[in-house]
A and B are shown apart, each in its own frame.
Chain A
Amino acid sequence: KNEVEQSPQNLTAQEGEFITINCSYSVGISALHWLQQHPGGGIVSLFMLSSGKKKHGRLIATINIQEKHSSLHITASHPRDSAVYICAARQGAQKLVFGQGTRLTINP
């Protein structure tokens, strides 16, 4: 069993829909990262959080430390949001344990 599990693995939705991607982890962490990998391969950091909730534009990330669970939400989804979303749990100072990613496709 992977230390970081994401669900779903693949998600297809229509433009405008509210999107939720889930991340569960089984290890103790100091922070949880959400990354976006574009179809061209580049990786961008979206959020780093250790408690509560963060919001950036249409993206919202939440974390529940007790339940070892984080969610990434996208409101008013758009085709340009199509990408692979990766959650990563930081253990200690250097180690990041990555999930396998969720492939999101938003159709117009």
Chain B
Amino acid sequence: NAGVTQTPKFRVLKTGQSMTLLCAQDMNHEYMYWYRQDPGMGLRLIHYSVGEGTTAKGEVPDGYNVSRLKKQNFLLGLESAAPSQTSVYFCASRMGSNNEQFFGPGTRLTVL
């Protein structure tokens, strides 16, 4: 099993550009999450999904959209990137509400 994978690993954008981050898991997990990690702050939840076709807002959802069209994939979109979205983005998944989370390797995004 590959576990949780993220594409791309690194990306540099200009302000106003759009992009999509892809998270894929091959463990048949129901729940998937997108977090951002910034220096001096703990991980913060952007959006999450409790199953195929469902999404919900987390702690810091503004400026991001998500989709979960297939159970194994969770996409994070930035429609108009801003420098404040420069961060490391982590995807995670877990089987159920009483299970541990498995994290992807992260995507380092820089917005100029």
Contacts and interface: CB of A to CB of B under 8 A. Distances in A.
Interaction A to B: yes
Interface of A: 2, 4, 31, 33, 35, 41-45, 48, 86, 88, 93-101
Contact of B103 (A4, A45, A100): A45
Shortest beta-carbon contacts, A-B, top 3? A98-B42, A43-B103, A45-B100
Interface residues of B, number: 25
A100 B41 contact: yes
Contacts of A99: 42
Given A42-B106, A43-B90, A97 B100 contact: no
Contacts of B99: 48
Interface of B: 31, 40-45, 48, 50, 56, 58-59, 88, 90, 92, 97-103, 105-106, 108
Contact of A98 (B43, B56, B106, B108): B43
Contacts, number: 50
Contacts of A42: 103, 105-106
B91 to A, nearest CB: 10
Contact of A97 (B42, B97, B101, B106): B42
